[in-house]
């Protein structure tokens, strides 16, 4: 039998949460079949099986956070039976299976140990045969003195008088206990009548409204925990300085319009962010000191650009980066931006995609904001904030005209980037937005 432990799927990973199992005890798996989906500090990751054989045991429940190296699952030979099948039929394993009250097993259900029914592993929530597909037959009730329940009452009075225990997975049951909620009171919407995590949260919200509880308690974990640690580290280790410049981006808007009409960009999403990204790459090549990191005893200037793009996702803020962005054509950069954004919003960003960034952009204009003072991504010394583009009155050759105007903001690590370097870099970015044709030089 082989045991698969939680691996380090990214540099420095110390723990992860088991989100959902993709297999159950008794399943036959091949090498590279997906076993489980976990959530690290920054992303959802599917773990493939390093072994081929039969799943023996799920050793961690869904919703549980465990350290790297913790045993997750055991896989044996195809001939081995799961431990659950050898267990008594009056108990159900707690590794992600529905909890059942043994007292409710009556003549409506068939014991797995009876030879006429083929033994099978208990299904996970949401898997296995439908309820109406289960074979049933009445149980023969013995009238001997050894029978614990009289035959006249075993199928009627006892089941009707006993309270039915609510169905729920162990993580949901534990959450209900922590919140002080009685599961039997929670309306269940699960496929098999089980109380889901969302049912619990909805019920909690309703209770809070009734009891006057005006405080919502949100556990700090996953993306939020990692973001908080990174921002504190950055804010209190790197001395930030921020500067701003207002830009006439009218020609950028015209350029984007032409790109959208171009045959080469017909299947690619084009936005002003593409021009900003290209401008940042161009300006960093002219001012390489902003594409660097602080190394205590030395400053490390990067001869490559891993361009980070801050992305707001349902799971929190992420900053995946485009590797070697300096080598990409305008169209290739557009494709990379699209893929990065879609992957982040779907929660499929992998840890490697968020490592090794050298300089970042945060598109706060997408949120309707004019400007801001962003915090540096840890390990970087510059970040550009791109504000919303809106029409404003602008003086052109002594005449006031409506123009498309935006504000660029930049935050810099003052240990590495002096005010002069920061200004020259941001002015170069602005120059491209004012005249995109400079990219052709």
Cα–Cα distance list, 252 to 29, 258, 292, 305, 310 (Å): 53, 10, 28, 23, 21
In the chain, how long is the greatest CA-to-CA distance? Answer: 108
Nearest CA to 345 out of 321, 324, 317 is that of 317
Sheet holding 28-29, edge to edge: 2-5, 71-76, 53-58, 28-29
Return the active site residues.
Answer: 414
Question: What are residue 313's phi and psi, to 5 degrees?
Answer: -125, 165
């Amino acid at each position: 039998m082989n045991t698969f432990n939680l691996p380090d799927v990214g540099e420095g990973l110390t723990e992860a949460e088991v989100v959902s199992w993709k297999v159950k005890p008794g399943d036959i798996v091949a090498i590279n079949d997906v076993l489980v989906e976990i959530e690290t500090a920054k992303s959802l990751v599917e773990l493939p099986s390093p072994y081929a054989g039969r799943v023996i045991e799920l050793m961690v429940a869904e919703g549980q956070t465990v350290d790297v190296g913790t045993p997750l699952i055991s896989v044996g030979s195809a001939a081995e039976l799961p431990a659950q099948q050898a267990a008594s039929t009056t108990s159900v394993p707690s590794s992600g299976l529905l909890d059942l009250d043994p007292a409710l097993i009556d003549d409506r259900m068939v014991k797995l140990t009876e030879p006429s029914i083929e033994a099978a592993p208990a299904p996970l929530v949401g898997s296995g045969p439908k309820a109406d597909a289960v074979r049933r037959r009445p149980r023969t009730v013995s009238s001997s003195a050894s029978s614990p329940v009289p035959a006249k009452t075993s199928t009627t009075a006892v089941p009707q008088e006993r309270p039915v225990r609510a169905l729920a997975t162990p993580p949901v049951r534990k959450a209900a206990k922590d919140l002080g909620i009685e599961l039997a009171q929670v309306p269940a919407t699960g496929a098999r009548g089980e109380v889901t995590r969302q049912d619990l949260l909805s019920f909690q919200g309703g209770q809070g409204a009734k009891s006057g509880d005006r405080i919502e308690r949100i556990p700090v974990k996953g993306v939020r925990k990692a973001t908080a640690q990174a921002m504190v580290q950055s804010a209190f280790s790197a001395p930030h300085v921020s500067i701003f410049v207002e830009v006439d981006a009218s020609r950028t808007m015209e350029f984007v319009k032409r790109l959208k009409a171009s045959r080469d960009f017909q299947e690619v999403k084009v936005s002003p962010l593409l021009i900003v990204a290209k401008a940042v790459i161009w300006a960093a090549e002219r001012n390489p000191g902003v594409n660097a990191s602080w190394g205590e005893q030395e400053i490390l200037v990067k001869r490559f650009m891993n361009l980070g793009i801050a992305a707001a996702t349902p799971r929190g803020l992420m900053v995946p980066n485009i590797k070697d962005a300096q080598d990409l054509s305008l169209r290739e950069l557009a494709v990379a931006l699209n893929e990065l954004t879609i992957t982040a919003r779907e929660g499929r960003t992998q840890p490697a995609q968020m490592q090794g960034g050298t300089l970042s952009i945060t598109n706060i204009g997408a949120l309707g904001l004019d400007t801001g003072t962003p915090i540096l991504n840890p390990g970087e010394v510059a970040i550009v904030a791109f504000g919303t583009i809106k029409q404003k009155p602008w003086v052109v050759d002594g005449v006031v005209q409506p123009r498309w105007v935006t504000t660029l903001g930049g935050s810099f690590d003052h240990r590495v980037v002096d005010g002069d370097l920061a200004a020259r870099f941001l002015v170069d970015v602005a120059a491209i937005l004012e005249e995109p044709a400079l990219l052709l030089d």
